[in-house]
C-alpha cells in the first residue's frame, strides 16, 4: 500500500514540477538539430513541447536550464547567510534584554538547533522527491492541490513580511545615516526602489555574488556594534565594562512581552522554506547538508554573541534594531556599513517569491528562464509588484519588533517547524517504526512539531495583545505617517 501511495505521489509531482538537471543531457543533443517548423499534424499540440519549438527556443531552453543549475554548496552557504543572517541578528539583543541573559542564550542555542534540524528534514524531502521545485510542491505531496495552495500562500506572505521588515529597516537606516527631517515615507520609497533593483538578477547563483558583499557587511556591522557598545559601556562606568544587565528576565514581565521577544529569535532562524528553491538550482543537491550545518553553526554563534555581548554592554535599555544602541555617531557608521545587508538580504526574499511564482506560471515555457524579451518583462514586472506590496506592509506595520513577531508566530511557526516535522512522518519515514533511526527521528520531529504549535498559539496571542497596547499608545508610530519609526 505504501509503495502504491509513493508511486502515486511521485507521478503527481512529476506532472506538476520540473527539475532542470533531468533533461540537460538529452536537450544538449538536440541543440545541433535543424530548425523545426510546426506542421499541420501538430498544430493542436502543446506549443511548449520540444517538437513544436524552433531551434532558437530550444537553445534558449538549454541555456536557461544550464544557467539555473550552477549553485554549489559553498555558494549556497553564502546565499543562505544572505537570506537568513540579517534582520534577525539586529533584534536579538532586545530579546536578550527581555528574557534575561540565561533565557536569551538558551533560546538562541535551542531554537537554532531545532531550526537547523527542521531544515534538514525539508531538504530530505527534496532529495527523495527530486521533482519538487519549491516549498509549495511539498504541500501538494502531502495534501494534493489544496495543500499546494495553502503552503504557497503562507510561503509568499511570510516572505512578503520579511521584505517589508527589510524595507522598514532601510527607512531607519537612511534616517539614521542622513540625520535629515525628510518624511519617512520618502525613505520608504527609496528603500523599496533599492530592493527592487537588487532583486532583478533571476538566479540565486548570480545573487550569491552580491551575497559576498552582504556577508562582509553584516559581520562588519555586528563587529562595530559590539565594539562600540563595549567602549561606550567602559567609558560610562569609569573604565570597567558593565550595565544593568541581568541573568534573569525583567521583573513583572508579561507573557505577551516575553513571547514577542521569543518570536524575534524564531524569526532569526526562518530559512527552511527557501531550502527547496535553492536546492533546485544546485548541480549536486545532496550537498545541501553541508550548507545547512555550516549555516546552523554560524547563526547560533553570531546570534548568541551579539545578543549576549550587546546586552552585557548596554543593559535593559538596548534598542531594536541593535545598531541604534551604539551611540549617535557609531550608529550612523554602523547603519552605513549595514546598508548592503539591509537591501541585499531583503532583495533575495523578493527573488524567492518571484522565482516561485514565475516558474509556476511559465513552467512549460522558455519564458521561465528569463532569457527572452518576454521573460525579462514578466520577471521585472513581477519583482516590481512584489516590492510595492512589501513597501505597503512596511508602512502599515511601522514597528520593527512587531512585524518580525507577527511573521514568526503566524507563518514561520508552520513553515519552519511543525510542517517540516509532519513532512518526515508523511513523506520521508521508511521501514519499521521500531528501528533505532525511526524512533530517534520520530522523537526529534515530535519536539519540532510541539515547538512550532507552541509558537503559533502563544505567539499570536502575544501579538494581538501587543498590537492592542501599541494602538492605545499615543507615542507609537502610525501607519503611513512621517513620524520616527525607530
Query: Quick one: CA torsion of 230, 236, 241, 246, rounded to 10 degrees?
Result: -100
User: Would you write out the chain's pLDDT as a tens digit for each of its 486 residues?
Assistant: 444 444 544 444 444 444 444 444 444 444 334 333 443 333 344 444 444 457 877 888 888 788 888 899 999 999 999 888 876 677 899 999 999 999 999 999 999 999 999 999 999 999 999 999 999 999 999 999 999 999 999 999 889 888 988 888 898 889 888 888 888 889 999 999 999 999 999 998 888 888 889 889 988 988 898 898 888 877 776 655 556 899 999 888 889 889 888 988 988 898 999 999 999 999 999 999 999 999 999 999 999 999 999 999 888 888 877 888 888 888 889 889 989 988 999 999 999 999 999 999 998 888 999 989 999 999 999 999 999 998 988 887 666 556 667 777 888 999 999 999 999 999 999 999 999 999 999 999 999 999 999 999 999 998 888 778 877 777 666 666 676 555
User: Do residues 122 and 138 make contact, with C-beta atoms less than 8 angstroms apart?
Assistant: yes
Query: Number of C-alpha atoms within 13 angstroms, CB side, residue 227?
Result: 9
Q: Per the domain annotation, does 62 fall within a domain?
A: no
How many domains does the structure of the chain reveal? Answer: 1
Q: Per the domain annotation, does 8 fall within a domain?
A: no
Question: How far is the C-alpha of 404 from the C-alpha of 321, rounded, in Å?
Answer: 11
Structural domain range at position 357: 67-472
Q: Per the domain annotation, does 42 fall within a domain?
A: no
Q: Per the domain annotation, does 105 fall within a domain?
A: yes
User: Do residues 230 and 313 make contact, with C-beta atoms less than 8 angstroms apart?
Assistant: yes
Q: Per the domain annotation, does 40 fall within a domain?
A: no
Question: How open is the CA angle 332-249-417, to the nearest 5 degrees?
Answer: 80
Q: What is the full DSSP assignment across 46-91? A: -TTSTTTS-HHHHHHHHHHHHHTT-B-HHHHHHHHHHHHSSHHHHH
**pLDDT of res. 447:** 97
User: Do residues 198 and 347 make contact, with C-beta atoms less than 8 angstroms apart?
Assistant: yes
Question: How far is the C-alpha of 191 from the C-alpha of 394, rounded, in Å?
Answer: 10
Q: How far is CA 48 from CA 304, 355, 359, 378, in A?
A: 51, 19, 14, 17
User: Do residues 36 and 55 make contact, with C-beta atoms less than 8 angstroms apart?
Assistant: yes
Q: Per the domain annotation, does 50 fall within a domain?
A: no
Question: How far is the C-alpha of 252 from the C-alpha of 242, rounded, in Å?
Answer: 23
Question: How far is the C-alpha of 104 from the C-alpha of 288, rounded, in Å?
Answer: 29
Residue 320 DSSP SS3: coil
Question: How far is the C-alpha of 68 from the C-alpha of 63, rounded, in Å?
Answer: 9
Q: Per the domain annotation, does 22 fall within a domain?
A: no
Identify the CA nearest to 218 among candidates 304, 343, 377: 343
Identify the CA nearest to 96 among candidates 227, 226, 235: 226
Question: How far is the C-alpha of 257 from the C-alpha of 263, rounded, in Å?
Answer: 10
CATH number of domain containing 273: 1.20.1740.10
Q: Per the domain annotation, does 131 fall within a domain?
A: yes
| DSSP assigned state of 325 | G
User: Do residues 314 and 93 make contact, with C-beta atoms less than 8 angstroms apart?
Assistant: yes
Amino acid at each position: 500500500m505504501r509503495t502504491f501511495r509513493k508511486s502515486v505521489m511521485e507521478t503527481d509531482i512529476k506532472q506538476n514540477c520540473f527539475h532542470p538537471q533531468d533533461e540537460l543531457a538529452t536537450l544538449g543533443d538536440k541543440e545541433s538539430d535543424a530548425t523545426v517548423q510546426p506542421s499541420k499534424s501538430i498544430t493542436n499540440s502543446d506549443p511548449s513541447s520540444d517538437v513544436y519549438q524552433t531551434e532558437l527556443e530550444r537553445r534558449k531552453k538549454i541555456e536557461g536550464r544550464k544557467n539555473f543549475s550552477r549553485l554549489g554548496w559553498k555558494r549556497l552557504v553564502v546565499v543562505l547567510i544572505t537570506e537568513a543572517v540579517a534582520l534577525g541578528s539586529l533584534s536579538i539583543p532586545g530579546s536578550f534584554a527581555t528574557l534575561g541573559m540565561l533565557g536569551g542564550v538558551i533560546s538562541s542555542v535551542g531554537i537554532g538547533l531545532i531550526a537547523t534540524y527542521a531544515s534538514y528534514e525539508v531538504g530530505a524531502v527534496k532529495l527523495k522527491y527530486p521533482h519538487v521545485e519549491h516549498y509549495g510542491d511539498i504541500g501538494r505531496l502531502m495534501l494534493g492541490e489544496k495543500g499546494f495552495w495553502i503552503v504557497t500562500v503562507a510561503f509568499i506572505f511570510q516572505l512578503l513580511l520579511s521584505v517589508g521588515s527589510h524595507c522598514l529597516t532601510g527607512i531607519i537606516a537612511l534616517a539614521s545615516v542622513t540625520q535629515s527631517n525628510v518624511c519617512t515615507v520618502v525613505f520608504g520609497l527609496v528603500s523599496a526602489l533599492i530592493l527592487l533593483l537588487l532583486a532583478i538578477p533571476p538566479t540565486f547563483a548570480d545573487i550569491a555574488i552580491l551575497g559576498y558583499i552582504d556577508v562582509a557587511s553584516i559581520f562588519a556591522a555586528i563587529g562595530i556594534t559590539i565594539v562600540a557598545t563595549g567602549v561606550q559601556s567602559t567609558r560610562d562606568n569609569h573604565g570597567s565594562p558593565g550595565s544593568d544587565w541581568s541573568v534573569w528576565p525583567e521583573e513583572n514581565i508579561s507573557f505577551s512581552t516575553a513571547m514577542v521577544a521569543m518570536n524575534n529569535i524564531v524569526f532569526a532562524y526562518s530559512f527552511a522554506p527557501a531550502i527547496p528553491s535553492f536546492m533546485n538550482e544546485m548541480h549536486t543537491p545532496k550537498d545541501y547538508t553541508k550548507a545547512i550545518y555550516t549555516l546552523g553553526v554560524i547563526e547560533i554563534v553570531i546570534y548568541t554573541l551579539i545578543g549576549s555581548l550587546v546586552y552585557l554592554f548596554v543593559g535593559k535599555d538596548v534598542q531594536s534594531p541593535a545598531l541604534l544602541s551604539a551611540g549617535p555617531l557609531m550608529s550612523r557608521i554602523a547603519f552605513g556599513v549595514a546598508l548592503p545587508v539591509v537591501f541585499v538580504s531583503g532583495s533575495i526574499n523578493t527573488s524567492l517569491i518571484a522565482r516561485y511564482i514565475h516558474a509556476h506560471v511559465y513552467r512549460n515555457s522558455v519564458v521561465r528562464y528569463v532569457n527572452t524579451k518576454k521573460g525579462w518583462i514578466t520577471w521585472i514586472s513581477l519583482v516590481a509588484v512584489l516590492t510595492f506590496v512589501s513597501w505597503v506592509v512596511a508602512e502599515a506595520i511601522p514597528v520593527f519588533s512587531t512585524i518580525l513577531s507577527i511573521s514568526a508566530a503566524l507563518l514561520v511557526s508552520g513553515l519552519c517547524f511543525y510542517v517540516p516535522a509532519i513532512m518526515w512522518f508523511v513523506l520521508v519515514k521508511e521501514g519499521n517504526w521500531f528501528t533505532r533511526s525511526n524512533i530517534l527521528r520520530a522523537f526529534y520531529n515530535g519536539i519540532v512539531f510541539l515547538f512550532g504549535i507552541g509558537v503559533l498559539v502563544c505567539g499570536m496571542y502575544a501579538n494581538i495583545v501587543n498590537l492592542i497596547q501599541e494602538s492605545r499608545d499615543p507615542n507609537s508610530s502610525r501607519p503611513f505617517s512621517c513620524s520616527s519609526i525607530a
